Structure 1
Amino acid sequence: MSETSASLRRKLNSAGDLQSVVRTMKALAASSIGQYEKSVRALADYYGSVELGLSVCFRESQPARLRAGRKGQCGSVSAVIFGSDQGLVGRFNEVVVDFALQRLTSLPGQHEVWAVGERAHARLADSGLAVRGVFVVPSSVKAIAPLVGQILVDSESGDSQGEAGELHLFYNRPTSGAAYEPVAQRLLPLDEKWRGQLAELPWPAGNLPEIIGDGAATLRALIREYLFVSLFRACAESLASENASRLAAMERADTNIGDLLESLRGDFHRLRQSGIDEELFDVVSGFDALAEDAGIKKLSKRAKVK
Structure 2
Amino acid sequence: MATTLTALRRQIDSAGDLKSVVRTMKASAASAIGQYERSVAALGDYARTVELGLGVCLRSVEQPPRETQTALAATPLMHAVVFGSDQGLVGRFNEVVVDHAVSALAQTRCRVWAVGERANARLVDAGITPEGCFAVPGSVELITRLVGDILLKVQAPAATTQADQPAATQSTALTLFYNRPNAAGYTPVSQRLLPLDALWQHGLANRPWPGDQLPEVLDASAQTLRAFIREHLFVSLFRASAESLASENASRLAAMQRADRNIGELLQELQAHFHQLRQAGIDEELFDVISGFDALSTSDEAKSTP
Alpha-carbon offset, residue 73 of structure 1: 3.2
Matching residue's letter, 1:263? E
Alpha-carbon offset, residue 125 of structure 1: 2.5
Show the 5 A alignment for 1:1-306.
4-62=4-62, 64-69=63-68, 73-74=73-74, 75-105=76-106, 107=108, 110-158=109-157, 161-177=168-184, 179-299=185-305, 303=306
Alpha-carbon deviations, 1:219-271, whole Å to 9, x = none?
A: 01000000000000000000111111111111111111111100000100000
SS at match of 1:123: helix
Alpha-carbon offset, residue 293 of structure 1: 1.1
SS at match of 2:156: helix
Q: 2-side partners of 1:37 and 1:68: how far apart?
A: 31
Alpha-carbon offset, residue 104 of structure 1: 1.2
Alpha-carbon offset, residue 70 of structure 1: 6.9
Alpha-carbon offset, residue 130 of structure 1: 4.6
Matching residue's letter, 1:23? R
SS at match of 1:147: helix
Query: Could you say if the C-alpha distance between residues 68 and 266 of structure 1 is closer, same or farther in structure 2, counting changes exceeding 3 Å?
Result: closer
Greater mean deviation of Cα atoms: 84-93 or 226-235: 84-93
Matching residue's letter, 1:7? A
TM-score (norm. length: structure 1): 0.92
Work out the number of aligned pairs and report it: 296
Structure 1 residue ranges without an equivalent (≥5): none
Alpha-carbon deviations, 1:94-140, whole Å to 9, x = none?
A: 11111011111265xx2111111111112222333352221100011
Q: 2-side partners of 1:161 and 1:22: how far apart?
A: 51
Query: Could you say if the C-alpha distance between residues 19 and 219 of structure 1 is closer, same or farther in structure 2, counting changes exceeding 3 Å?
Result: same
Question: Is the Cα contact below 8 Å between 2:179 and 2:189 reproduced in 1?
Answer: yes
Q: 1-side partners of 2:66 and 2:47: how far apart?
A: 21
Alpha-carbon deviations, 1:173-221, whole Å to 9, x = none?
A: 11115x2110000001111111111111111211111113211110010
Q: 1-side partners of 2:69 and 2:227: how far apart?
A: 12
Alpha-carbon offset, residue 279 of structure 1: 0.8
Question: Is the Cα contact below 8 Å between 2:69 and 2:196 reproduced in 1?
Answer: no
Question: Is the Cα contact below 8 Å between 1:70 and 1:188 reproduced in 2?
Answer: no
Query: Could you say if the C-alpha distance between residues 104 and 162 of structure 1 is closer, same or farther in structure 2, counting changes exceeding 3 Å?
Result: farther
Asked which structure has the greater CA Rg, the reply is 1
Alpha-carbon offset, residue 158 of structure 1: 2.9
Matching residue's letter, 2:59? R
Q: 2-side partners of 1:68 and 1:226: how far apart?
A: 13
TM-score (norm. length: structure 2): 0.92
RMSD of aligned residue pairs (Cα, Å): 2.0
Alpha-carbon offset, residue 32 of structure 1: 0.6
Structure 2 residue ranges without an equivalent (≥5): 159-166
SS at match of 1:166: strand
Greater mean deviation of Cα atoms: 188-197 or 163-172: 163-172
Q: 1-side partners of 2:129 and 2:285: how far apart?
A: 72
Matching residue's letter, 2:180? R
SS at match of 2:180: strand
Query: Could you say if the C-alpha distance between residues 153 and 69 of structure 1 is closer, same or farther in structure 2, counting changes exceeding 3 Å?
Result: farther
Matching residue's letter, 2:120? H
State percent identity of aligned pairs.
59
